[in-house]
Amino acid sequence: MMSINEVQEDIVASFAELEDWMDKYQLLIDMGNDLKPLDEQYKKPQYLIEGCQSRVWLYARYEKESGLVFYEAESDTVIVKGLVCLLLKVLSGRTPDEILNADLFFIERIGLKEHLSPTRSNGLLSMIKQIRSYAQVFKLQA
């Protein structure tokens, strides 16, 4: 399995080929459209991360045998769904320690840092925080 940083480098490489903003967003939209829909049972308030403009649902599950955390998520906007898809590629199926120590450089490197600004209010920044707090909790359970 590829490491967190190898997956990030991979993503950076696939976006680096695209020079135009619209092409980058086309790729994100395609990824967003392909993201597996979150099971309806998890589209509930307790899994909801409310942004000002868009919403993200995040569900996390800890597999005791392997010691890995698996995330599933969805958003009501396709672009945020694309970003969610990238985050899950990087962080889902990792140990709590890997998740907590991860340096998420790919977002900035592919030029999408603006989505993480607190004023963007798309729920993405809160989602990353939430991903980390799940990992924190599972670490204590391990």
Partner 1 sequence: MDINKIREDFPILSEQVYNRPLVYFDNAATTQKPWPVIHCLEEGYRRHNANVHRGIHFLSQTATEAHEAARARVRDFLHAASAEEIVFTRGTTESVNLVAFSFGETFCREGDEIVVTVMEHHSNIVPWQMLCERRKMHLKVVPMNDRGELLLEEYEKLLTPRTRLVAVAHVSNVLGTVNPVGEMIAAAHRRGIPVFVDGAQAVPHLKVDVQALDADFYAFSAHKVYGPTGLGVLYGKKRWLEQMQPYQGGGEMIDQVRFEKTTYNALPYKFEAGTPDFIGTTALAAALDFVETLGMDCIAEYESQLLHYTEERLSALPGLKIYGQAAHKSAVVSFRMGDIHPYDTGLLLDKLGVAVRTGHHCAQPLMERLGIDSCVRASLSFYNTREETDILCAALERIRKMF
Q: Which is nearer to partner 1, 82 or 96 (CB)?
A: 82
Q: Which is nearer to partner 1, 122 or 130 (CB)?
A: 122
Using the minimum distance from each CB to partner 1, give the nearer residue, 19 or 65: 19
**Considering the rule CB under 8 A, would residue 21 count as an interface residue with partner 1?**
yes
Region for residue 29 given its phi and psi (left: phi exceeds 0; alpha: psi -120 to 50; beta: otherwise): alpha
Q: Does 33 contact partner 1 by CB under 8 A?
A: yes
Name the DSSP letter for residue 94: B
> Is 85 among the residues known to form the active site?
no
18 binds partner 1 (CB under 8 A): no
| Interface pick for partner 1 out of 1, 17, 19, 22 (rule CB under 8 A) | 22
**Could you tell me which of 79, 95, 93 has the C-alpha nearest to residue 21?**
79
State the Cα–Cα distance between residues 80 and 91, nearest whole angstrom: 16
Q: Which of residues 46-65 bind partner 1 (CB under 8 A)?
A: 52-54
Least distance in angstroms from the C-beta of 49 to partner 1: 14
Contacting residues toward partner 1, per CB under 8 A: 21-22, 25-26, 29, 33, 52-54, 76-80, 122
Catalytic residues: 52
